[in-house]
């Protein structure tokens, strides 16, 4: 009889990844953003849900685009408008179900399920996730693992300082022997497994900042609108004429849908070309001297920065040089963000890492600094690691700072999923699964007892 492989679900802010344990990449990667169309017939969600790449890109009258994640911990934006406290979990459940049952064509009740979570996930969310997998999905067995632990395993470095540069967050998590360190204590992956007890007085040090992919998108959006660029998404254009003079743009020929799509839908579609710009044009400033105050007069550079041309969806072509680095520079130097922060300005990524390392027990500091694992899709920015390494070497001149990142794009993007896939398929992990029977006996708090 063919063995039933476990499923691995890695919910991120931008996309939710799912696939079978033991494989190298997730079978599916679905947007975590969803559409909601007002529909009096479906009061459960206060509208009908549209989940998946095609659904959220369909032009539907009144469809609003939302994201059930807020702050990376599975709470909904809806909470902020205070009329649908629990709807977020219902939507989250539907997105997970869509990944497993629709995209993987799998019967979820037949597979053990491993789910990844951020280190800052609060207990109520961990318990809610446990309820969903046992009550709604009826899985035979389940486990919840910290993303940073998965990422350390995916990079064959169970002791490492994991830097995850994602969509809504960039986080730093020290992991020692597969155990993430947080708030003064070691969070044991599972008490029954004999992870080596750690005797240091550790009161460190997972930190996070919103300086990540979404921040870059916001900064680029601001930069483009300051330049006077029309932000018309591809999907809404009937045809385009190429032009280079912003003062004399050709008339736009737009598709006529018979209605005006919802503003959130338009912005979601604008994000598509902004993401493309980020991925193909943006570059990280990694010169020995600081980023020039006047980008039009940069002075001497170690190596000249190539000019690159980009065509916006409406046909506007523009050459970009140092302005390709303005948004990315704000990841390290947030006070230079083109769009200022409304609240306190966060610390730059390198400074955040320094805070985390400074709180580490002196015994392990050097080990962490020479085992820095950089993951997350935003870390794919051109010269990102070079810049990060440069800043960290300046901050820690003594110890040997060594960054490690996979050269393979999927491994960098899906690192947490891949680590989950490795863990869930290894024999020793089998004793960790929480069974349905254990859940029935103890309830959702089993997660706190078995997977801290």
Ligand X SMILES: Nc1ncnc2c1ncn2[C@@H]1O[C@H](COP(=O)(O)OP(=O)(O)OP(=O)(O)O)[C@@H](O)[C@H]1O
Is residue 74 a contact point for ligand X (CB under 6 A)?
no
Q: Using the rule CB under 6 A, which residue among 169, 218, 219, 337 binds ligand X?
A: 169
Identify which of 57, 3, 48 has the alpha carbon closest to the alpha carbon of residue 30.
57
Q: Using the rule CB under 6 A, which residue among 50, 167, 182, 450 binds ligand X?
A: 167
Is residue 152 a contact point for ligand X (CB under 6 A)?
no
The whole-angstrom separation of Cα 406 and Cα 175 is 18
C-alpha 217: how far from chain center: 13
Q: CB of residue 382 vs ligand X: minimum separation in angstroms?
A: 8
Q: Which is nearer to ligand X, 60 or 373 (CB)?
A: 373
> What does the DSSP 8-state code read for residue 33?
-
Q: Give the interface segment with ligand X, choosing from 45-53, 308-316, 333-341, 377-385 (CB under 6 A).
A: 377-385
Q: Using the rule CB under 6 A, which residue among 13, 129, 209, 385 binds ligand X?
A: 13
Q: Using the rule CB under 6 A, which residue among 31, 178, 180, 213 binds ligand X?
A: 213
Q: Please give the size of the binding site for ligand X, defined by CB under 6 A.
A: 22
| Residue showing tokens 């709807």 | 87
Q: CB of residue 406 vs ligand X: minimum separation in angstroms?
A: 13
For ligand X, the binding residues in 387-426 under the rule CB under 6 A are: 413
Q: Give the interface segment with ligand X, choosing from 10-18, 48-56, 423-431, 435-443 (CB under 6 A).
A: 10-18
**E strands of 210-271, at which residues?**
237-239, 253-254
- Please, which residues have CB within 8 angstroms of residue 296's CB and are 6 or more apart in sequence? 322
Q: CB of residue 126 vs ligand X: minimum separation in angstroms?
A: 16
Q: Give the interface segment with ligand X, choosing from 51-59, 103-111, 160-168, 285-293 (CB under 6 A).
A: 160-168
Binding mask 91-130 for ligand X (x = CB under 6 A): ----------------------------------------
Is residue 374 a contact point for ligand X (CB under 6 A)?
no
Q: Using the rule CB under 6 A, which residue among 279, 311, 411, 438 binds ligand X?
A: 279
Q: Using the rule CB under 6 A, which residue among 37, 104, 119, 168 binds ligand X?
A: 168
Q: Which is nearer to ligand X, 275 or 347 (CB)?
A: 275
Structural Rg of the chain based on CA atoms: 23
254 strand-pairing partners = 237
If residue 349 lies in a helix (H) or strand (E), which one and from where to where? helix 349-358
Q: CB of residue 92 vs ligand X: minimum separation in angstroms?
A: 13
Query: Within 10 A of 36 (CB to CB), how many other CB atoms are there?
Result: 24
Q: Using the rule CB under 6 A, which residue among 36, 368, 381, 401 binds ligand X?
A: 381
Q: Are 305 and 296 in contact (CB under 8 A)?
A: no
Q: CB of residue 17 vs ligand X: minimum separation in angstroms?
A: 8
Is residue 19 a contact point for ligand X (CB under 6 A)?
no
> What does the DSSP 8-state code read for residue 68?
S
Q: Is the peptide bond before 205 cis (omega within 30 degrees of 0)?
A: yes
C-alpha 386: how far from chain center: 21
- Please, which residues have CB within 8 angstroms of residue 56's CB and are 6 or more apart in sequence? 31, 33, 34, 35, 50, 65, 268
Cα distances (angstroms) measured from residue 327 to each of 268, 275, 283, 302, 406: 19, 13, 9, 21, 24
The whole-angstrom separation of Cα 308 and Cα 298 is 17
Query: Within 10 A of 303 (CB to CB), how many other CB atoms are there?
Result: 7
Q: Using the rule CB under 6 A, which residue among 26, 174, 313, 376 binds ligand X?
A: 376
Cα distances (angstroms) measured from residue 259 to each of 158, 256, 263, 265, 429: 54, 8, 12, 13, 53
Furthest C-alpha separation in the chain: 71
Q: Which is nearer to ligand X, 93 or 378 (CB)?
A: 378
Q: CB of residue 306 vs ligand X: minimum separation in angstroms?
A: 17
Q: Which two tokens stand for residue 20?
A: 């079978």
If residue 186 lies in a helix (H) or strand (E), which one and from where to where? strand 185-186
Q: Give the interface segment with ligand X, choosing from 179-187, 201-209, 210-218, 330-338 (CB under 6 A).
A: 210-218
Q: Using the rule CB under 6 A, which residue among 6, 8, 9, 12 binds ligand X?
A: 12
Q: CB of residue 398 vs ligand X: minimum separation in angstroms?
A: 31
Q: Give the interface segment with ligand X, choosing from 121-129, 134-142, 333-341, 370-378 (CB under 6 A).
A: 370-378
Q: Which residues bind ligand X (CB under 6 A)?
A: 12-15, 72, 164, 166-169, 212-214, 275, 278-279, 376-378, 380-381, 413
């Amino acid at each position: 009889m063919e063995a039933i492989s476990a499923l691995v679900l890695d919910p991120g802010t931008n996309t939710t990844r799912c696939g079978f344990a033991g494989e190298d990449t997730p079978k599916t990667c679905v947007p975590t953003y969803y559409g909601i169309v007002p529909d009096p017939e479906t009061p459960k969600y206060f509208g009908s849900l549209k989940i998946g790449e095609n659904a959220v890109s369909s032009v539907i009258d009144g469809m609003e685009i939302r994201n059930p994640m807020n702050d990376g911990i599975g709470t909904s934006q809806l909470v902020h408008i205070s009329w649908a406290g629990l709807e977020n979990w219902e939507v989250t459940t539907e997105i997970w179900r869509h990944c497993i049952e629709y995209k993987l064509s799998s019967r979820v009740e037949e597979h053990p399920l491993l789910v990844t979570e951020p280190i800052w996930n609060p207990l109520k969310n961990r318990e809610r996730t446990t309820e969903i997998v046992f009550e709604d999905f009826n899985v035979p067995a389940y486990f919840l693992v910290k993303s940073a632990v998965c990422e350390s395993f995916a990079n064959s470095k169970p002791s490492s300082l994991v830097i995850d540069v994602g969509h809504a967050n960039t986080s730093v998590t020290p992991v020692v022997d597969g155990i993430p360190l947080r708030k003064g204590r070691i969070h044991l992956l599972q008490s029954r497994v004999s992870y080596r007890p750690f005797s240091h007085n550790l009161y460190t040090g997972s930190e996070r900042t919103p300086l990540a992919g979404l921040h870059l998108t916001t900064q680029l959006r601001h930069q483009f609108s300051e330049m006077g660029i029309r932000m018309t998404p591809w999907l809404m254009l009937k045809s385009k004429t190429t032009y280079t003079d912003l003062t004399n743009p050709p008339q736009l020929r737009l598709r006529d849908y018979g209605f005006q799509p919802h503003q959130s839908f338009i912005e979601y579609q604008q994000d598509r070309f902004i993401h493309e710009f980020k991925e193909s044009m943006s570059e990280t400033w990694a010169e020995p001297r600081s980023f020039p105050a006047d980008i039009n007069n940069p002075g001497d550079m170690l190596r000249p920065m190539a000019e690159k041309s980009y065509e916006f969806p409406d046909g506007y072509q523009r050459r970009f040089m140092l302005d390709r680095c303005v948004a990315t520079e704000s990841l390290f130097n947030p006070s230079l963000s083109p769009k200022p922060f409304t609240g306190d300005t966060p610390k730059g990524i390198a400074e955040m890492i320094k805070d985390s390392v400074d709180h580490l027990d002196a015994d392990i500091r050097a080990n962490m600094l020479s085992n820095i694992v950089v993951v997350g899709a935003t870390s794919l920015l051109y010269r990102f690691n070079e810049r990060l390494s440069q800043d960290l070497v300046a901050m820690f001149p003594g110890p040997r700072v060594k960054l490690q990142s996979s050269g393979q794009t999927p491994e960098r993007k899906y690192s947490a999923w891949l680590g989950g896939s490795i863990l869930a398929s290894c024999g020793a992990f089998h004793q960790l699964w929480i069974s349905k029977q254990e859940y029935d006996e103890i309830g959702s708090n089993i997660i706190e007892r078995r997977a801290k």
